[in-house]
């Protein structure tokens, strides 16, 4: 085995060794922290600084401020910095790291084996500079000065350079900006045999340390609504808590049963607020107030409906009603807003994983038949520039505009490649009986076993689950 080199500056700096150096050729197709599929070919016409790093590598972390400065200074002139993480922890490890280091450039989720194959990476950090024509202009192992990097990059910089690809877009919460982006309620729901409601909150906790203790709390105060529309408290508030274990997640859901709601007399509603608690039960931030209607008291929960919700938006200067229920949209954005996976996990006795989708169908006519498809392929196909599905599960979109879908996929429904850790999957929006593809999410590369070769239970909640669903089957995925 080749001995890793040791780099000396004013003091001895040990590189993070990865192993022997193979031959290499350059390219990849990997998901970013934002869920987009990113490849080097998308940057043609720009100079790329490709930084191979890991969250556990001290010299890598020391280089991040320098990379941020370079991106800010020269991004407008054609520089694109791309971070390539070789961490085995995936989004859960790299997402919080990127947030805490305020990385203003895209980071893709890779692995050490591919880094060795495509770039001969044997130590971290490794920096590769690629010119606008896709040729390797320079390569550095170990710490490298900002001045030396500028010396290589500067000849390729020019005003009017090709724009960065959309998949490279990074959104950072501004210093001092609200963590709470949105809060909304899905009332009148039946979940695991209990009537109640879902409270959704989109909140940025990506830079906080969950291991030190992080909680979301909700306080609900029953208030009487007078004929003139004024309100007054009619009882003490009730507070509930939910632990936050995954800082990379932004969408959190709390289910409240009717029995957990404060008692209400007469016509009223609950003045509510979500808050974030850190170590020592210290309040980090609070949302604006929002209202929860008294669905349980009025008896409306006797006939649960799907996905009726009222939204509040806390971005851009405080709360505001966003219009008619189910008629909310970010101007200029696509229908599919985000998709992510959680798992492997066990749900109602079945092994599998959850697929989460944020979407907006408020401007679509659902009568023409909209559906969400979960597409599967082998890992190699998933990494290609235009991946093609080898099999598909389909879930019809029946609600007007829920905004958020969570679906459970059992191990018995996953293709063997995906279940075994050598597959890819993505979400597609399909229209009409011919299943025309309108949009698709980024590709998730599954490089670790989800099901470990074990068959999952075929029963859940007292009814038979289907195994081996055929492509295009409109049966539900088993979500809630």
DSSP symbol at 70: H
The residue with greater pLDDT, 242 or 399, is 242
Nearest to 412 by CA among 460, 373, 472, 455: 455
pTM given for the model: 0.56
For residues 285 and 212, state if they share a domain. yes
Q: Is residue 202 situated within a structural domain?
A: yes
Print the domain residue range for 452. Answer: 336-464
Identify the bridge partners of residue 40 per DSSP, sorted by sequence position: none
Determine if the peptide bond prior to 125 is cis (ω within 30°): yes
Residue 327 lies in a domain: no
pLDDT at residue 176, rounded to an integer: 79
Does residue 211 register a pLDDT over 70? Answer: yes
Q: What is the pLDDT of residue 15?
A: 52
- What torsion do the CA atoms of 129, 154, 39, 102 make, to the nearest 10 degrees? 90
173 part of a folded domain: no
In a domain, 455, yes or no: yes
Looking at the fold, whether 112 and 22 belong to one and the same domain comes out as: yes
- Tens of pLDDT, residue by residue over 270-315, are 999 999 998 888 999 999 998 888 767 543 333 332 222 333 333 3
CB 214 within 8 A of CB 278: yes
Domain co-membership, 156 together with 213: no
Annotate 177-205 with b (16+ C-beta within 10 A) or e (fewer): ebbbbbbbbbbbbeeeeebbbbbbbbbbb
- 107 with 238, same domain: the answer is no
Output b/e per residue, 91-128; b: 16+ Cβ within 10 A. Answer: bebbbbbbbbbebbbbbbbbbbebbbebbbbbbbbbbb
Q: Do both 92 and 141 map to the same domain?
A: yes
CATH number at residue 205: 2.60.40
Residues 150 and 189 in one domain: no
Is 195 in the same domain as 135?
no
- Indicate whether 325 belongs to any domain: no
pLDDT by residue (tens digit) across 220-271? 999 998 888 888 999 999 999 988 887 777 788 888 888 888 888 888 889 9
- Residues 249, 269: one domain? yes
What does the pLDDT read at residue 468? 23
Quick one: pLDDT at residue 52? 97
- Whether residue 378 sits in one domain with residue 279: no
Task: State which of 110, 133, 168 marks the end of a domain.
Answer: 168
Residue-level pLDDT at 312: 30
Residue 354 pLDDT: 78
What is the pLDDT at residue 174?
A: 82
Q: Are 108 and 191 in the same domain?
A: no
Percent of the chain surpassing pLDDT 70: 76
Which CATH number belongs to the domain containing residue 418 in this structure?
A: 2.60.40.1930
Note whether residue 175 is domain-resident: no
Q: Is residue 478 part of a domain?
A: no
Domain at 77, CATH number: 3.40.30.10
Number of domains in the chain: 3
Average confidence (pLDDT) over 64-76 = 96
Same domain, 125 and 200: no
The mean-pLDDT minimum among 50-59, 204-213, 223-232, 293-302 falls in 293-302
* Residues 117, 216 within the same domain: no
Q: What is the pLDDT of residues 130-181, one digit of tens each?
A: 999 889 999 999 999 999 999 999 999 998 899 999 989 998 888 778 899 8
Q: Check residues 85 and 29 and name the one with the higher pLDDT.
A: 85
Residue tagged 């209990």 (tokens): 194
Place of tokens 């808590």: 241
On whether residue 122 sits in a domain, the answer given is: yes
């Amino acid at each position: 085995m080749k001995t890793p080199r040791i780099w000396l500056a004013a003091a001895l700096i040990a590189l993070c060794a990865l192993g022997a150096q193979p031959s290499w050729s350059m390219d990849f197709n990997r998901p970013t922290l934002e869920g987009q599929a990113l490849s080097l070919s998308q940057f043609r016409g720009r100079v790329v600084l490709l930084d191979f790093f890991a969250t556990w590598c001290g010299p890598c972390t020391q280089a991040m401020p320098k990379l941020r400065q370079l991106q800010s200074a020269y991004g407008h002139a054609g520089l694109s910095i791309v971070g390539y993480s070789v961490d085995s922890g995936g989004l859960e490890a790299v997402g919080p790291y990127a947030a805490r280091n305020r990385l203003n450039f895209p980071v893709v989720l890779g692995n050490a084996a591919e880094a060795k194959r495509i770039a001969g990476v044997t130590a971290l950090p490794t920096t590769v500079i690629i010119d606008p024509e896709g040729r390797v202009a320079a390569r550095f192992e170990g710490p490298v000065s900002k001045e030396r990097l500028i010396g290589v990059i500067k000849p390729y910089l020019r005003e009017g350079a090709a724009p960065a690809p959309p998949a490279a877009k990074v959104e950072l919460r501004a210093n001092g900006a609200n963590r709470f982006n949105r809060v909304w309620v899905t009332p009148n729901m039946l979940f695991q045999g209990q009537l109640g409601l879902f409270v959704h909150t989109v909140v940025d906790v990506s830079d906080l340390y969950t291991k030190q203790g992080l909680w979301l709390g909700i306080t609900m105060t029953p208030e009487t609504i007078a004929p003139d529309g004024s309100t007054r408290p009619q009882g003490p508030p009730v507070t509930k808590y939910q632990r936050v274990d995954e800082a990379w997640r932004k969408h959190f859901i709390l289910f409240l049963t009717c029995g957990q709601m404060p008692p209400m007399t007469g016509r009223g509603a609950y003045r509510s607020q979500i808050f974030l608690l850190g170590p020592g039960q210290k309040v980090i931030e609070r949302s604006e107030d929002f209202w929860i209607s008294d669905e349980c008291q009025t008896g409306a929960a006797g006939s649960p409906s799907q996905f009726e919700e009222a939204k509040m938006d806390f971005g851009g200067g405080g709360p505001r009603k966003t219009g008619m229920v189910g008629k909310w949209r970010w101007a200029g954005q696509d229908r599919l807003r985000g998709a992510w996976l959680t798992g492997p996990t066990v749900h109602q006795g079945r092994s599998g994983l959850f697929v989460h989708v944020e979407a907006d169908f408020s401007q679509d006519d659902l009568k023409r038949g909209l559906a969400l498809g979960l597409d599967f392929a082998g890992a190699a196909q998933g990494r290609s520039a235009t991946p093609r599905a080898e099999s598909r599960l389909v879930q019809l979109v029946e609600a007007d505009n829920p905004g958020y879908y969570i679906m459970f996929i059992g191990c018995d429904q996953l293709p063997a490649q995906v279940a075994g850790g050598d597959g890819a999957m993505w979400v597609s929006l399909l229209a009409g009986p011919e299943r025309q593809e309108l949009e698709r999410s980024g590709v998730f590369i599954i490089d670790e076993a989800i099901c470990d070769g074990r068959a999952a239970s075929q029963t859940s909640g007292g009814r038979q689950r289907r195994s081996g669903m055929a492509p295009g089957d409109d049966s539900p995925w088993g979500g809630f």
